[in-house]
């Protein structure tokens, strides 16, 4: 009886967007005379942080401070159509829609500022701090609020924009499976180290070390959040979780958290991660969706590590202690 250590890896892809496309999202943007840019959506934030990340994209596209951008989401009367938050699609689709809306708004902003500053719109730039200024002459500038007031009260102009991102659904050939399923692909490579107690079958995941390539990080801290959260959910899949523990039998189905084991704070492995950015061709600032991939990639890495530790060929999940002990018995009786 021993504690056996093993290392395993996985290298995976994850597609961005609802499979086959046909999942548009729209954004509406309007600037208030108080200096806020309100981006109205009907997208759901599940906790991954779209209310933050989409405001960042909006601020970047407009060239204004993050604090000036308000994300107003979750109402079908005011927010235009969004297909939904799934398929790692929202930052990509809504982000692109916001960039389109921002371009329209920014054009009007620069026209108004140009009139106020007696310059050509082509000579103007936003400074990211709340002002629009003449390139090369920073003293000739106008703050966003006076600009908005001028637009409204002096020129009778609205500052706003509309945007949509739409990848048409081009179907699947039923004979060959020919299809265009996604907008872009993110990638990950995960290395897991485990220690297996051959007497109890208990697995400890010692470390999960990951390289994620996701096009562009909008918010590195939130990216780290997805990697950590996804890794722990993946670990749960690999080791503990099943709604039918004796699948395909439906018996002994867990009915609550006492019976269905989720990883707790004492179970988490040491984690290291590196995030690579190879901007995608069609994502907002090159973004690729990756929130689902973070739960996928660790699962086979952990099971490969268990098999590496034990010389077994366990081919299912969850790899419970019972399954490990049975696999060790089977291996012993083969030898």
Q: What 3-state DSSP class applies to 132?
A: strand
Kindly report whether the peptide bond that precedes residue 288 is cis, defined as omega within 30 degrees of 0.
Answer: no
Among 297, 310, 324, 327, binds another protein (CB under 8 A): 297
Among 131, 304, 309, 324, binds another protein (CB under 8 A): 304
* Known catalytic membership, residue 104: no
CA distances from 54 to 12, 48, 79, 300 (A): 26, 11, 14, 32
Q: Which stretch binds another protein (CB under 8 A): 16-24, 102-110, 116-124, 146-154?
A: 16-24
b/e per residue 187-214 (b: at least 16 CB within 10 A): bbbbbbbbbbeeeebebebeebbbbbbb
The least distance separating another protein from the CB of residue 46, rounded to whole angstroms, comes to: 4
Site string for another protein, 243-272 (x = CB under 8 A): xx--xxxx--xxxxxx-x-xxxxx-x--xx
- Helix 220-239 / helix 298-310 crossing angle, nearest 10 deg: 50
Establish if 68 lies at the interface with another protein (CB under 8 A).
no
Annotated active-site residue in 60, 213, 241, 292: 292
Residues 167-186 that bind another protein (CB under 8 A): 169, 172, 174-182, 184-185
CA distances from 197 to 265, 303, 307, 326 (A): 20, 15, 13, 13
Among 96, 231, 290, 309, binds another protein (CB under 8 A): 231
Residues in contact with another protein, counted by CB under 8 A, come to a total of 141
Locate 19 and state its tokens. Answer: 């499979």
Residues 307-326 that bind another protein (CB under 8 A): 307-308, 313, 315-318
Establish if 273 lies at the interface with another protein (CB under 8 A).
yes
Locate 118 and state its tokens. Answer: 């007696």
Establish if 145 lies at the interface with another protein (CB under 8 A).
no
The residues annotated with a catalytic role in the active site are 292
């Amino acid at each position: 009886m021993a504690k056996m250590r093993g290392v395993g890896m996985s290298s995976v892809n994850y597609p961005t967007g609802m499979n086959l496309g046909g999942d548009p999202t729209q954004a509406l943007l309007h600037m208030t005379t108080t200096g806020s840019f309100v981006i109205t959506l009907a997208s759901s934030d599940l906790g991954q942080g779209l209310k933050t990340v989409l405001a960042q994209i909006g601020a970047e596209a407009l060239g204004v401070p993050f604090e000036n951008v308000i994300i107003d989401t979750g109402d079908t009367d005011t927010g235009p159509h969004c297909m939904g938050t799934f398929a790692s699609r929202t930052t990509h689709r809504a982000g692109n829609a916001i960039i389109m809306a921002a371009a329209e708004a920014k054009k009007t902003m620069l026209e108004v500022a140009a009139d106020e500053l007696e310059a050509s719109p082509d000579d103007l730039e936003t400074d990211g701090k709340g002002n629009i200024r003449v390139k090369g002459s920073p003293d000739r500038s106008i703050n966003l609020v006076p600009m908005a007031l001028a637009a409204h009260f002096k020129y009778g102009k609205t500052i706003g924009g509309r945007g949509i991102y739409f990848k048409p659904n081009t179907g699947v050939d039923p004979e060959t499976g020919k299809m265009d399923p996604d907008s872009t692909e993110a990638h990950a490579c995960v290395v897991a180290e485990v220690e297996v107690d051959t007497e109890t079958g208990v697995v400890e995941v010692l470390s999960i070390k990951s390289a994620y390539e996701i096009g562009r990080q909008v918010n590195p801290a939130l990216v780290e959040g997805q990697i950590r959260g996804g890794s722990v959910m993946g670990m749960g899949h690999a080791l503990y979780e099943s709604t039918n523990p004796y699948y395909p039998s439906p018996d002994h189905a867990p009915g609550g958290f006492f019976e269905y084991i989720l990883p707790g704070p004492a179970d988490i492995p040491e984690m290291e991660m590196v995030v690579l950015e190879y901007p995608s061709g069609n994502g907002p600032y090159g973004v690729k969706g990756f929130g689902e991939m973070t739960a996928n990639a660790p699962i086979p890495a952990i099971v490969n590590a268990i098999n590496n530790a034990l010389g077994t060929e366990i081919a299912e999940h969850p790899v419970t202690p019972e399954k490990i002990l049975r696999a060790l018995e089977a291996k012993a009786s083969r030898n």
